Amino acid sequence: MSSISTDFKPKKHYEILDGLRGVAAILVVAFHIFEAHNGGSRFKQIINHGYLAVDFFFLLSGFVVAYAYDDRWVKMTQWEFYKRRLIRLQPMVIMGMIIGAIFYYFQASDNLFPMIAGMEVWKVIVTMVIGFTLLPIPPSLEIRGWGEMHPLDGPAWSLFFEYIANILYAVLFRKFSNKIMTVFVLIFAGMLINYTVFGPKGDVIGGWSLNLEQMNVGFTRLLYPFFAGVLLCRLGKLIHIKGAFWICSLMISAVLIIPRIGDENSLWMNGLYESFCIILVFPLIVAIGAGGEIKSAFSAKICKLLGDISYPIYITHYPLIYWYTAWVVDNKVEIKDGYGIGIGVLIASIVIAFLCLKLYDEPVRNWLQNKFQKRKVSL
């Protein structure tokens, strides 16, 4: 009888991709802050396409998952893969739900969240515990009124789909040849174009509710970018240019900040823009980012910091956004009057994310890795 270690030798780390994830995460927070002032109109939104950061994250995830695991299945079971993904993602999912529960009653609003003031504590606790698992909350447990599958921490919907993508990859797509994967990626691109260009809204906004329409949006947003990321990694067609991090940061910022294309009578124009960005621009950014190199110590530090806090920012900032949005709506606060508090929310989101990273996420993940990954398997 012999044995092998389930530990794997570390691979080259794509520092620039980590940094880009952080840039996009900060822009998501800014997008949500401005969203509080748009009066419910996607046509008046500043940082208008900030929601496309989710689609960018999906593509990054597909690329990184393929890079990390495609060549390890000879020595790795599906359960080992799931374990590694859970250790990486789940601790901050739990923390996001806890923070959401802590802030919940501070978000009470007669105009926006009238349910909160009279909500039973037990229902909030049950919602939090279910949220720990990332299972969608059924409509019968609605505690906010927005119809979210995770009403304590809205952005957790994308982690729900992230897990689905990981399962699809482990069960099926990792076995496909590049040719078969290309066929599926083209089909998924067609689905995306059909929904954005020919669909009823002209954008990919949605995916966070447990109903047929929103689940369709969620899968449409998930399938192309995630598996295009897998295919991009496999093809290895990276682009090598100087200043890749700063160039890619400008590119992703431009994509997310650009105003809405067209109006209510030309929804297809914006849909075409979003399809173009998701299908072509995002893979281009990842190809440049993965092919670039960090030359200066300053850029390396920036990329590491942004990469470290990117996921904690994304998964913990929204309880503050609920509060800020309720304050804006209740007091009819305009941007020129609320920007000081908005900046404070952005800074607080970054600080909370950093504290969660250092005091909770990293120690917990290290403990879980030591306990569940570093072991021998008999053959």
Report the distance separating Cα 78 and Cα 86, nearest Å. 12
Mind listing the pLDDT tens digit for each residue in 87-140? Answer: 999 999 999 999 999 999 999 999 999 999 999 999 999 999 999 999 999 887
Q: What is the 3-state secondary structure (H, E, C) of 77-96?
A: CHHHHHHHHHHHHHHHHHHH
Tell me whether residue 324 is exposed, middle or buried, using C-beta atoms within 10 angstroms of its C-beta: 0 to 12, 13 to 18, 19 or more.
buried
Compute φ and ψ for 318, nearest 5 degrees. Answer: -70, -30
pLDDT average, residue stretch 269-278: 98
Residue 3, SS3? strand
Would you state the pLDDT for residue 2?
35
- Res 3: pLDDT: 37
Give the per-residue pLDDT at 116. 97
Band (pLDDT 50/70/90 cuts) for residue 7 is: low
Determine the pLDDT at residue 9.
Answer: 64
Query: Rounded to an integer, what distance in angstroms lies between the CA atom of residue 68 and that of residue 226?
Result: 14
pLDDT of residue 82: 97
Asked if pLDDT for residue 6 goes beyond 60, the answer is no
Please report the DSSP string for 276-339 in residue order. Answer: HIIIIIHHHHHHHHHH----SHHHHHHHHHHHHHHHHHHHHSHHHHHHHHHHHHHHT--HHHHH
Kindly give, in sequence order, each residue whose CB lies less than 8 Å from that of residue 301, ignoring residues fewer than 6 positions away: none
- Give the model confidence (pLDDT) of 210-238 as tens digits: 999 999 999 999 999 999 999 999 999 99
Question: What proportion of the chain, given as a percentage, has pLDDT over 70?
Answer: 96
Nearest-angstrom CA–CA distance, 215 and 208 = 8
Q: What local confidence, expressed as pLDDT, does residue 4 receive? A: 40
Residue 185: how many other CB atoms lie within 10 Å: 24
Q: Is the pLDDT of residue 379 over 70?
A: no
In this structure, the number of other CB atoms found within 10 A of the CB of residue 203 comes to: 21
Amino acid, single-letter form, for residue 59: L
Widest CA span in the chain: 72
Nearest residue to 197 via CA among 128, 271, 138: 271
Distance CA 72, CA 352 (A): 35
* Phi and psi torsions of 77, nearest 5°: -85, 165
Q: What is the pLDDT of residues 53-84, one digit of tens each?
A: 999 999 999 999 999 999 999 999 999 999 99
Helix %, strand %, coil % for the chain, to 5? Answer: 70, 0, 30
Q: 10 Å Cβ neighbour count for 329?
A: 18
- What average pLDDT does this structure show over 248-277? 97
- How much is the pLDDT for 220? 98
pTM: 0.95
CA distance 149 to 157: 7
The answer to whether 278 and 204 are in contact (CB under 8 A) is: yes
Question: Smallest Cα–Cα separation from 317: which of 4, 22, 12?
Answer: 22
Answer whether 377's CB lies under 8 Å from 7's CB. no
For 378, the 3-state DSSP assignment is strand
286 contacts: CB under 8 Å, gap ≥ 6: 17, 59, 60, 63, 229, 232
Q: Going by DSSP bridges, is the β-strand pair 376-378/3-5 parallel, antiparallel, or unpaired?
A: antiparallel
pLDDT in tens, 293-351: 998 899 999 999 999 999 999 999 999 999 999 999 999 999 999 999 999 999 999 99
Q: What is the pLDDT of residue 168?
A: 98
pLDDT digits 0-9 by tens, 142-191: 899 999 999 999 999 999 999 999 999 999 999 999 999 999 999 999 99
Torsion sign across C-alpha atoms 238, 239, 240, 246? negative
For residue 32, the model assigns a pLDDT of 98
Across 31-45, 246-260, 349-363, least confident range:
31-45
What whole-number distance in Å separates Cα of residue 21 and Cα of residue 15? Answer: 10
CA 75, CA 71: separation in Å to the nearest integer? 9
Lowest average pLDDT, out of 36-50, 151-165, 223-237, 246-260, goes to 36-50
pLDDT of residue 377: 40
pLDDT given at position 46 = 92
Residues 6+ apart with CB under 8 A from 267: 200, 201, 202, 203
CA–chain centroid gap for 231, Å, is: 19
Q: What's the pLDDT at 102? A: 98
CA 150 vs. chain centroid, Å, equals 14
Closest among 20, 19, 16 to 256, alpha carbons compared: 20
